[in-house]
């Protein structure tokens, strides 16, 4: 995953301990790539913003980051062992934000977590699990210094926007699969494979909803809560992210309902198929019963059975059998049983 840092932004200092990048920005331009230990001193200078990106950092690095920005113990603890719900928390004058990221890996959704520490003059991102690098965000921000110059809240916006944007391809892929499946289900009902896929899709969507749902609240608070960190002029940007998250959420809920509909439709299709098989079974049974019964009777060994001695008895009986069977067949077909 460090591909990004080595191939796209080769100037970043990538350490083995999980430091992807650490830079200082003035007026939207990077003025230095720094070591974690220097962060505090750079951050103090007016107009300077320190932006550090970590990927599954060692506890040592985390502790070092904590010292630099005076982060709260609990937040660092959370950032260390992941598995948090998306949330936003204010510790003193710093914000701690958790978001879940989603990616399609081999047909099912792989989730990751990103933890963000933001405060006056710094932003630290900590990625866990399956998650795309934020190198593209950094690149895009650096290519547009005017926007980046707005400070750490703009970086926060850029990362959240990137996370939310990345839900879309996941949902689109699922959407397409659902559409393929619904055509199939309506035509033939569900086989074992489709049932399994339906089940897994529902489970994945449930998890995705759990990942996305609490994010609405996070964005809403960034937009409305007059947090010291977020200047008024930035609030429309966060409102935009809120909107985007809500759209994603609506799509998830729609897909979930559509899958529930598909399940119910499939039950009906399956029931109809079962009935169709039963009707076919009953029809053929009825048709075959005719020669069986008649032949049985003329197979009896009674001494006195006059028909047996008729010259054309046999032909007559075969004729009756053939006619009756044909009539039955025709009637069943007309009734839609065959």
Under the criterion CB under 8 A, does residue 144 sit at the interface with its own copies?
no
Q: Measured from the CB atom, is 34 or 237 closer to its own copies?
A: 237
The binding track of 196-215 with respect to its own copies, each residue x by CB under 8 A or -, is x-xx--xx--xx--x-----
d(CA 52, CA 199): 40
Q: How many residues bind its own copies (CB under 8 A)?
A: 87
Q: What are phi and psi of 49, to 5 degrees?
A: -125, 125
Burial of 109 (0-12, 13-18, 19+ CB in 10 A): buried
Residue holding tokens 């710094």? 122
The binding track of 302-331 with respect to its own copies, each residue x by CB under 8 A or -, is xxxx-xxxxxxxx--xx--x----------
Under the criterion CB under 8 A, does residue 8 sit at the interface with its own copies?
no
Cβ atoms < 10 Å from Cβ of 313:
14
Can you tell me which of 17, 56, 217, 240 binds its own copies, judged by CB under 8 A?
240
Q: Is 103 helix (H, G, I), strand (E, B) or coil?
A: strand
Cβ atoms < 10 Å from Cβ of 310:
11
CB of residue 301 to its own copies, shortest distance in Å: 5
**Stretch of 20-28, 43-51, 58-66, 180-188 contacting its own copies, by CB under 8 A:** 180-188
Can you tell me which of 31, 35, 144, 293 binds its own copies, judged by CB under 8 A?
293
CB of residue 262 to its own copies, shortest distance in Å: 7
255-284 residues in contact with its own copies (CB under 8 A) are 257-258, 261-275, 277-282, 284
Six-digit token pair at 76? 């660092």
Q: Measured from the CB atom, is 125 or 266 closer to its own copies?
A: 266
Closest to 68 (Cα-Cα) out of 101, 28, 41 = 41
Query: Which residues are registered as beta bridge partners of 126?
Result: 54, 115
The binding track of 78-107 with respect to its own copies, each residue x by CB under 8 A or -, is x----xxx-x-x-x----------------
d(CA 271, CA 240): 47
């Amino acid at each position: 995953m460090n591909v990004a840092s080595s191939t796209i932004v080769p100037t970043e200092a990538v350490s083995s301990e999980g430091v992807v990048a650490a830079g200082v920005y003035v007026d939207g331009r990077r003025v230095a790539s720094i070591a974690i230990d220097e962060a505090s001193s750079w951050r103090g200078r007016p107009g300077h913003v320190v932006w550090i990106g970590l990927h599954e950092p060692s506890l040592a690095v985390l502790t070092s980051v904590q010292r630099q920005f005076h982060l709260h113990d609990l937040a660092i603890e959370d950032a260390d062992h992941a598995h948090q719900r998306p949330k936003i928390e204010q510790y003193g004058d710093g914000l701690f934000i958790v978001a879940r990221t989603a990616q399609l890996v081999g047909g099912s959704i792989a989730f990751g977590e990103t933890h963000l520490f933001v405060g006056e003059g710094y932003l630290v991102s900590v990625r866990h699990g399956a998650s795309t690098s934020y190198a593209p965000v950094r690149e895009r921000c650096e290519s547009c210094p005017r926007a980046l110059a707005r400070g750490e809240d703009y970086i926060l916006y850029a990362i959240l926007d990137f996370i939310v944007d990345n839900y879309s391809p996941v949902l689109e892929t699922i959407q397409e699969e659902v559409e393929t499946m619904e055509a199939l289900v309506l035509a033939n009902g569900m086989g074992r494979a489709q049932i399994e896929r339906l089940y897994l899709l529902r489970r994945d969507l449930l998890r995705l909803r759990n990942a996305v749902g609490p994010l609405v609240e996070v964005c809403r608070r960034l937009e409305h809560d007059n947090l010291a960190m977020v200047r008024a002029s930035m609030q429309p940007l966060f409102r935009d992210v809120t909107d985007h998250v809500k759209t994603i959420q609506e799509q998830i809920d729609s897909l979930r309902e559509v899958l529930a509909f598909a399940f119910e439709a499939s039950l009906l299709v399956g029931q109809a198929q079962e009935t169709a098989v039963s009707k076919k079974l009953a029809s053929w049974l009825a048709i075959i019963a005719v020669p069986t019964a008649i032949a049985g009777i003329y197979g009896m060994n009674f001494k006195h059975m006059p028909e047996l001695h008729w010259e054309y008895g046999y032909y007559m009986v075969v004729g009756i059998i053939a006619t009756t069977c044909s009539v039955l067949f025709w009637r069943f077909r007309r009734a839609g049983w065959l």
